[in-house]
Amino acid sequence: MEKLLEVKDLTKQYALGSLIARILITAVDRISFYMDQAEIFTLAGESGCGKTTTAKIVLGFEEATSGTILHSGKPQTRKEKVWITEGVQAIFQDPFSTFNPLRTVDSYFFETVKNYRLAESKTDAIELIDQKLRSVGLTYGEFAGKYPNEFSGGQLQRISIARALMTNPKLIIADEPVSMVDASLRMAIVNLFKKLRDELGVSVLYITHDLATAYYVSDRIAIMFRGNIVEMGTVEQVLMNPRHPYTRLLRESIPQADPRQTWSDTVTLAELEHDEYLREGCKFAGRCPMVMERCRREVPRDLFVGDVLVKCHLYEGSGETSPS
């Protein structure tokens, strides 16, 4: 079956510094992944790992340095923005900066209706908007004519999801959609993603650093570190039995809501992001508790342990190498 989204060997480089002392930072380094229909796929990692850059490229906001992106088998190019945005919609991190504080929230919905010619008349448009709002638990009546400051963060985030649903997208790209929302209201948003997947067949590319909600909602997950996907597989396999030392570190660092399970050992933090990006060999070698000599020299290959992709020298020989 054709994949809904296929990303192959995607690379993005940024140049830093002046003309003379220029360094190239590879923000995304030859990553490949795919998404099926009605699937929630998580890209997880810390800030500066390249997850947002990946999202921006898939949305067409940034151009890739190299690599291909296929939407249902069709290649993504600059010219074809319209069909891409109709099928792919985005939700961003901060619901308060998504909406202009001086514009009413409903004007965004009417604008979308106009841009994509979704309705013939105003009554049709209102009916459509109401229908989308109801799927996120709001109604047109309680939202018409209001400004962003009249809603709470959780409500605004649900409104931006409803706005994204206007074009009946097949894929929603959600970049850290819950990190600005209170922990107590987060579940309302992530439950909504589950509902969209199960009832409307919408796929969600869920970008987050919160592994607990990632485990809760997603089907498959990719862990990114400094531009590389270091581990990828089903959430059960990756998060319940992490193989890459970085995934283990992430998994252990999540504060568990259980006062009897507190951290006992100490962590080393990266001193400068730069150094890790420019590191030769495995980028995690500077902080890895299981570092070997070859990690500092050679970039690890993509290895498969069972169905899980792991990019680590520790598994060299124990699994099969990637088919490509």
Partner 1 sequence: MEIQTETILRTENLKAFYVLDMHGTQKIVKAVNEVDLAIKENEIYGIAGESGCGKTTLLKALFNVIEPPLRLIGGKIYYRVNWEEVEVTSLSPEEKRRLRLEYISYIPQGSMSVLNPVLKIKESYQDFIASHVPEQSRKETMELAQKQIVELGLPKNILNAYPHQLSGGMRQRVTIALSALLSPRIMIGDEPTTALDVVVQRGVIQMLKEIQRKLQNTIILVTHDMGVHANVAHRIGIMYAGKIVEEGTTIQIFDNPLHPYTQFLINSLPKFGDKMMRESVPGSPPSLADLPRGCPFHPRCPYTKDICRESMPGFSYPDEKHRVACWLIGEGEHGKAS
Token digits of residue 309:
């992709």
Residue 138 binds partner 1, judged by CB under 8 A = no
148 burial type by CB count under 10 A (0-12 exposed, 13-18 middle, 19+ buried): buried
Token digits of residue 215:
């485990």
Residue the block writes with tokens 């810390």: 46
According to CB under 8 A, which one of 89, 157, 167, 213 is a site residue for partner 1? 213
The sign of the CA dihedral 270, 272, 273, 276 is: negative
According to CB under 8 A, which one of 253, 318, 321, 322 is a site residue for partner 1? 253
Interface region with partner 1, contact rule CB under 8 A, candidates 115-123, 139-147, 243-251, 310-318: 243-251
Residue 250 binds partner 1, judged by CB under 8 A = yes
User: What gap in Å lies between CA 45 and CA 250, rounded to an integer?
Assistant: 8
Alpha-carbon dihedral angle through residues 62, 68, 73, 79, given to the nearest 10 degrees: 40
Residue 211 binds partner 1, judged by CB under 8 A = yes
Residue 291 binds partner 1, judged by CB under 8 A = no
Residue 92 binds partner 1, judged by CB under 8 A = no
Interface region with partner 1, contact rule CB under 8 A, candidates 80-88, 112-120, 248-256, 302-310: 248-256
Backbone phi, psi, residue 145, to 5° = 75, 10
**Smallest distance from the beta carbon of 40 to partner 1, in angstroms?**
12
According to CB under 8 A, which one of 88, 164, 204, 239 is a site residue for partner 1? 239
Interface region with partner 1, contact rule CB under 8 A, candidates 61-69, 107-115, 208-216, 312-320: 208-216
**Smallest distance from the beta carbon of 222 to partner 1, in angstroms?**
17
Measured CA distances, 168 to 31, 196, 209, 236 (Å):
28, 11, 27, 30
Site string for partner 1, 36-55 (x = CB under 8 A): ----------xx--------
Q: Which is nearer to partner 1, 119 or 249 (CB)?
A: 249
Q: Which is nearer to partner 1, 84 or 99 (CB)?
A: 99
Residue 23 binds partner 1, judged by CB under 8 A = no
Site string for partner 1, 261-280 (x = CB under 8 A): xxx--xx-xxxxx-------
Q: Which residues of 185-203 are buried (b: 16+ CB within 10 A; e: fewer)?
A: ebebbbebbeebbeeeebb
Classify 53 as helix, strand or coil.
helix
Residue 254 binds partner 1, judged by CB under 8 A = yes
Q: Which is nearer to partner 1, 15 or 183 (CB)?
A: 183
Q: What is the 3-state secondary structure (H, E, C) of 55-108?
A: HHHHHCCCCCCEEEEEECCEECCHHHHHHHHHHEEEECCCHHHHCCCCCCHHHH
Q: Which is nearer to partner 1, 126 or 187 (CB)?
A: 187
**Smallest distance from the beta carbon of 169 to partner 1, in angstroms?**
24
> How far from the centroid of its chain's Cα atoms is residue 222's Cα?
9
Which residues contact partner 1 by CB under 8 A? 46-47, 152-155, 182-188, 190-191, 209-213, 215-216, 239-240, 249-251, 253-263, 266-267, 269-273
